Amino acid sequence: MSLDNVRGLVIDLDGCIYLGKKPIEGAAEAIGKIRRAGYSILFLTNNSTLTRGMYVRKLRGMGVEASEDEILTSGVIAARYIASQKPRAKVLPVAEAGFTEEARKLGIEILDESRYHEAEYVTVGLDRTLTYRKLAAAVKAINMGACFICTNLDHIYPGEEGFEPGAGAIAAAIEKASGVKPYSVGKPSEEANRQVFEALKLSGRQVAFVGDRIDTDIKSAKMAGAVGVMVMTGAASLFNIDEAECKPDYVIESIVKLPELLGVK
């Protein structure tokens, strides 16, 4: 698919702009060039641990300029989805501030484990303070009829020293115990794409998704009729591009090569 019509870029964070706390070399300069060329940018991440404000500070600390309006996380997507389905819903989270704080801003009531019986939704994201009590409360709430929402189904994500368990691994444990499959709203999903295009105000052929995963970033692009650009950093080594059913339109060494691919100097 041609890049000629592309006016907006949906760029992944983990594994594309940085690995944990370590920036990908040259990422800040590449993003700066793309901005100066007039492209709209939306950073889209399945990592739901941080709020948009936290991501802004993290990116700026790496020399990458961004505003909260340019960041969309799976935690934000989940919060907006729940608020659209049931305003002021009662939610039991197995997640961090990237979901809970964003949800509170939308009027959602966040419950602790002792109030699991009140939950209308259970929302699972990456939770690095996970306890058995949280898992048990989530399972009991789902068995009592709470809707089971997952921010994303990524079983692992790239860290500085290797891959670590992701939200999908936690959701899988709860699914196994409850017998209920989660509804995932992160990449790749129709809900995530709906919020992406609502933010960019562009159509599919005007957008390129850039990331390190075929099963999330490239699949999201294909679902939306957009361009898929894969960077060979982060989790890229997990995928065999030649054998993949969902193939990227373009493959580049890293985000550093994106300006060149777009014809930006």
Output the pLDDT for position 225.
97
Among 149, 184, 219, identify where a domain stops.
184
Residue type, 169: A
Question: Which residue range is the domain that position 110 belongs to?
Answer: 75-184
Do residue 168 and residue 218 come from a single domain? Answer: no
Q: Is the pLDDT of residue 68 over 80?
A: yes
Helix/strand/coil (H/E/C) assignment for every residue in the chain: CCCCCCCEEEECCECCCEECCEECCCHHHHHHHHHHCCCEEEEEECCCCCCHHHHHHHHHHCCCCCCHHHEEEHHHHHHHHHHHHCCCCEEEEECCHHHHHHHHHCCCEECCHHHHHHCCEEEECCCCCCCHHHHHHHHHHHHCCCEEEECCCCCEEEECCEEEECHHHHHHHHHHHHCCCCEECCCCCHHHHHHHHHHHCCCHHHEEEEECCHHHHHHHHHHHCCEEEEECCHHHHHCCHHHCCCCCCEEECCHHHHHHHHCCC
Distance (Å, whole) CA 216 – CA 222: 10
Residue 148 lies in a domain: yes
112-128 pLDDT, tens digit each:
999 999 999 999 999 99
In this prediction the pTM is 0.94
Distance (Å, whole) CA 178 – CA 169: 14
Output the pLDDT for position 242.
79
Q: Is the pLDDT of residue 158 over 80?
A: no
**Mean pLDDT over residues 160-178, rounded?**
93
Q: How many domains is the chain built from?
A: 2
Output the pLDDT for position 55.
98
Beta carbons within 8 Å of 184's beta carbon, 6+ residues apart: 149, 150, 151, 152, 153, 171
Max Cα distance, the chain (Å): 57
**Mean pLDDT over residues 67-91, rounded?**
98
Instruction: Single out the residue of 31, 44, 62, 63 nearest to residue 259, CA to CA.
Output: 31
Do residue 110 and residue 127 come from a single domain? Answer: yes
Beta carbons within 8 Å of 240's beta carbon, 6+ residues apart: none
Task: pLDDT band for 83, please (50, 70, 90 cuts).
Answer: very high
Q: Is the pLDDT of residue 95 over 90?
A: yes
Output the pLDDT for position 231.
95
Do residue 253 and residue 216 come from a single domain? Answer: yes
Q: What percent of the chain has pLDDT over 90?
A: 88
**105 with 90: CB under 8 angstroms?**
no
Do residue 112 and residue 212 come from a single domain? Answer: no
**Mean pLDDT over residues 31-53, rounded?**
97
Distance (Å, whole) CA 119 – CA 245: 39
**Mean pLDDT over residues 90-105, rounded?**
98
208-246 pLDDT, tens digit each:
999 999 999 999 999 999 999 999 998 787 788 878 889
Mean pLDDT, rounded, of the chain? 95
What CATH number is associated with residue 170?
Answer: 3.40.50.1000
Among 134, 159, 184, identify where a domain stops.
184
Q: Is the pLDDT of residue 100 over 80?
A: yes
Task: pLDDT band for 265, please (50, 70, 90 cuts).
Answer: confident
Q: What percent of the chain has pLDDT over 70?
A: 100
